[in-house]
Amino acid sequence: MLNDNLRDQKLIYDLDKIEEKENFIFELNWKKIDTPEGIVDITSPINLDFYIEKNSEGFLLKGSAMTKVKLQCSRCLKEFEQQIKGEIEAFYISKSMESLYIKSERLETLDNIIFFSEEKIDITDRIIESILMEIPEKPLCKVDCKGLCPICGVDLNENPDHKHDEEYIDPRFEKLLNLFKEEK
């Protein structure tokens, strides 16, 4: 899987070295990301700005990932770039405390809880997740995209006055239409 190849040493953090709170700002130069809809091209560096904060129960990861991705409009099928600003958020808790959280309702009130067993965490999946969550299910090149003509496939954004002179009948249904004409 493509996303497994995105793992990088600079995204692995030793939690023993974080005393209170550490801020991180840097760029990643990923070119592609695998999504449920297929592979998406990343057209600009991913700007990361996040912090890891130690507290009494574990470590809080919070920040953002900003980039641009190339998408295909779901109406006119043209490719376009879209700005993405994904939120990164996770709460890392030691695996030794997992039973305490499972028994309590506290687990239900906290989102993005990740139990860790080693003192190192890899945040690659959190970055991927933050980008994926911001990619629209039905991307549009613009809000008022008119799409394609359902009859001939002409782009209605480029030809807004496009019309067909006669009523179009799909050849696959033409014989059915003739059945109705014979009944009259």
More confident residue, 19 or 166: 19
| pLDDT tens digits, one per residue of 151-170 | 888 999 999 898 887 776 77
Residues in the chain, overall count: 184
Give CA–CA dist 174/184, Å, rounded. 16
| pLDDT tens digits, one per residue of 88-144 | 999 888 776 666 665 555 545 556 788 777 788 899 999 999 999 999 999 999 999
Cα 134-82-155 angle, rounded to 5 deg: 120
| Residue 99 tokens, joined | 């039973």
DSSP state of 74: T
What is the rounded end-to-end Cα distance, in angstroms, of the chain? 60
Give CA–CA dist 89/82, Å, rounded. 22
The mean pLDDT value for 48-65 works out to 91
On whether the pTM is more than 0.75, the answer is yes
